[in-house]
Structure 1
Amino acid sequence: MRRLRLILLWRVLVWSAVLLLALWAYGWIRQRPQDLPWTDLDLGQPVGLFTGRKLAALTGDSARCQALLDRAGIAYVAMKPGGAAQCAYADAVRLQAERGTIALVPDAVAPSCPVVAALKLWEWQVVQPAALRLYGQPVRTIRHLGSYSCRRLYGRSQGNYSEHATADAIDIAAFILKDGRQVSVREDWVGKGRDAAFLRMVRDGACGLFSTVLSPDYNAAHRDHFHLDQAERGATGWRACR
């Protein structure tokens, strides 16, 4: 029995070493450090295999997260801590309007820093490329339904609290293109046209950046928005994309 355990342990160690070596080789050969789990997150790099987990790992580390925003040249205002008990938050930031970037409307929204970091990567690497590909023009504005809300999941009176309760989530309702055209989750999700294709492209792209992405495919409660959150479990545990 002891010999069998040693053999099994040896196999686990060998396969672990092989996996780590393969990951290192993949990142080195392709010159993509973002594909390696131990490299530092850089918001200026394309999305990699571990980008989503690295973003989720920023939860609760406002100093490191804000340093990343600073290095990426993102204009923001750090908000004072607020809330209490299960609804306390300490790392909310409000994006400032910048020429050439997507504006969030209403503009007073202040999600947690990890959500904002993921939103900017989503804008740069997913939303704008999809808009230029399908419409030949960029997105000017994203309409949302809010971020911070002290409540439990789906408004229940008992059970776990929503990621909205700590500002670790935002609900996205529509995209306004440069020419003023609106692409709405509620109105345009169903169908096979260009608008539906765009919404699915940006939903799928969000899945590599957020711990949880919920769309109308999930349930009726999300028929009019995408729920995007940066739950801590996304750093090491399971991720949800529906």
Structure 2
Amino acid sequence: MSILMRIVGRTLLLALLLGAALLLAIWRGWLEVPPRFDPWALLDVRDTPNLLTRFKLWRLSDDRALCDQALATSGLRVTRLADSTPQPGCPIENAVRFHSAEVGLSSSFMATCPLAVSFALFERHGLQPAAQAVFGQPVVRLEHVGSFACRSIAGSQRPSQHAYANALDMVGFRLRDGRHISVLHDWTGQGDKARFLRLVQEAACDSFNVTLGPQYNAAHRDHFHVDMGLWRMCR
């Protein structure tokens, strides 16, 4: 092993040890840091997302009380749902009935709690800033085609995230002045609507684990699919 490789290895080991010591100090309360930079602090939807946001979202999957606290910072109107199995093989756990956000919805839908929190982050820090940047006005209505569908991923035997109400398909947006933006009709082109949709897709990739749009395949030509599954994908 060369001297350079030894130096690099020791440097990396030292960095890992220092990082572990820092995390331990924060966890034990020996070192005070602002909540948004504390990995164990509550995820506050109002705070600008940072490198710790995804870790904090991950913690919500198995901690319902923590997820409810995060939802309380979101401004969403939701109703907590009991665990159930609406159809055989499709259990719904840690879920809410999503009634409304700051943006209006075409209808209420079921969503896992982490999906609901991710939507709140997407709306506040992605969707509405994109609308203001392109059109100078907010989105007032989001059109979707549902979250829960007890089915497998097309062409496979693997359950879709829709089978667990852990996904949402968004098809269109309406601005305050009444203009309508459709994924199906406005994705292509160079105009403001197309530019807005591309910003929306980028924002969704930041907020959700998976975002699939018209560029992914023909099945997604008319909507953005977003979900909070285990894998990361932005297409």
Q: Shorter-chain TM-score: what band? A: 0.7 to 0.9
Q: Report the count of equivalent residues.
A: 221
Q: Which residue of 2 aligns with 1:28?
A: none
The one of 216, 219, 228 equivalent to 1:218 is 216
* Partner SS for 1:153: coil
When residues 63 and 37 of structure 1 are mapped into structure 2, their CA distance, relative to the original with a 3 A threshold, is: closer
Segments of structure 1 that go 5 or more residues without pairing to the other structure are: 24-30
RCO comparison, higher one (Cα < 8 Å, 6+): 1
Aligned residue type for 1:159: Q
The Cα of 1:224 is off from its aligned counterpart by 0.5
Give how far 1:149 is off: 0.9
User: How far off is 1:73 after superposition?
Assistant: 4.0
1:239 paired to 2:198: no
The CA deviation at 1:206 is 1.3
Partners in 1 of 2:117 and 2:75 — Cα distance? 11
Equivalence for 1:51: 53
**In the superposition, relative to structure 1, how do residues 49 and 167 fare at CA in structure 2: closer, same or farther (>3 Å)?**
same
User: Which residue number in structure 1 is paired with residue 138 of structure 2?
Assistant: 138
1:88 aligns with 2:81: no
Structure 1 pair 151–195 and aligned structure 2 pair: CA distance change class (3 A):
same
What is the letter of the counterpart of residue 93 of structure 2? A
Q: Write out the 4+ residue segments of structure 1 that deviate beyond 6 Å after TM superposition.
A: 6-9, 18-23
Cα displacement string for residues 141-187 of structure 1 (whole angstroms, at most 9, x for unaligned residues): 10001101111112x4x521111111110011001111221111111
Q: Residues 21 and 81 from structure 1, CA distance in 2 versus in 1: closer, same or farther, beyond 3 angstroms?
A: closer
Residue 152 of structure 1 aligns to which amino acid in structure 2? Answer: S
* C-alpha contact (below 8 Å) 2:40/2:56 kept by paired residues: no
Distance in 2 (alpha carbons) for counterparts of 1:17 and 1:195: 49
* TM-score, normalised with respect to structure 1: 0.80
In the alignment, structure 1 residue 110 sits paired with structure 2 residue 113: no
Alignment of 1:1-242 (within 5 A): 10-17=10-17, 34=36, 37=39, 39-83=41-85, 86-97=89-100, 101-105=102-106, 107-154=107-154, 156=155, 158-231=156-229, 233=230, 238-242=231-235
2:135 partner amino acid:
Y
- CA separation of 1:184 and 1:61: change in aligned 2, threshold 3 A: same
Alignment RMSD, CA only?
Answer: 2.8
TM-score, L = length of structure 2: 0.82
Alpha carbons of structure 1 residues 86 and 227: separation in structure 2 relative to 1, 3 Å: same
Once the two structures are TM-superposed, the CA of residue 218 in structure 1 deviates from its matched residue by 0.9
Deviation at residue 33 of structure 1 after TM alignment: 5.6
Counterpart AA for 1:41: L
CA distance in 2 between partners of 1:32 and 1:216 (Å):
40
The DSSP-based 3-state class of the residue aligned with 2:49 is coil
Alignment match, 2:27: none
Instruction: Give structure 2 stretches of 5+ with no counterpart.
Output: 24-32
1:97–1:166: structure 2 CA closer, same or farther, 3 Å change rule? closer
Q: Which residue is 1:27 aligned to?
A: none
Please give the secondary structure, in 2, of the residue aligned with 1:110. strand
Distance 1:40 1:67, change over 3 A: closer
Change (3 A) 1:180 1:115: same
Alignment partner of 2:67: what SS?
Answer: helix
Deviations 1:49-107 (A, max 9, x none): 23234223322432221121124443211123222664101222123346xx10121x2
8 Å contact kept, 1:51–1:209: no
Native 8 Å contact 2:97 2:108 kept in 1: yes
Identity within the alignment, %:
38
